[in-house]
Amino acid sequence: MHDTTLVGPGAPAGRREWVGLAVLALPTLLLDLRLFTNREFSVILAIMLVGAAVMGGSFLLVSLYLQMVEGLSPLNAGLWLLPMNLAMIAATLLAPGLVVMR
């Protein structure tokens, strides 16, 4: 069996350097790092990161509450969270259209 690990602790040392050199040899980077010098971009990115962490934490806490306090099974707790998840998906899909209309 061949080792197919490209990166990470299990990859051979020579292969890790080769992957790093291949990324550096690309004509353009996937993300222009100069974007992070823009204050507005950095602030909005930080706000989005905090929002995502709060949202993930709230899903975790509500799920644990439903299971430990209310005594629901994991499946039932997930079904109770389904309307909140569907509303979040709908808001995510509708938000760009509302912004463009302004």
Report the number of distinct structural domains present in the chain.
Answer: 2
Q: Which residue has the tokens 């990166």?
A: 7
Cα separation of 29 and 68, whole Å? 47
Same structural domain, 68 and 48: yes
Structure confidence at residue 70 (pLDDT):
95
Residue 24 has pLDDT above 70, yes or no: no
Same domain, 62 and 14: no
Query: Does the structure show a pLDDT above 90 at 16?
Result: no
25 with 35, same domain? Answer: no
Confidence of residue 25 (pLDDT cuts 50, 70, 90): low
Say whether both 10 and 59 belong to one domain.
Answer: no
Is the pLDDT at 8 greater than 70? The verdict is no
What are phi and psi for residue 45, nearest 5 degrees?
-65, -40
Gyration radius of the chain over CA positions:
22
Predicted confidence (pLDDT) at residue 39 exceeds the cutoff of 70: yes
The listed range with the strongest mean pLDDT (13-22, 25-34, 84-93) is 84-93
Q: CA 102, CA 97: separation in Å to the nearest integer?
A: 9
Whole domain around residue 39: which residue ranges?
31-101
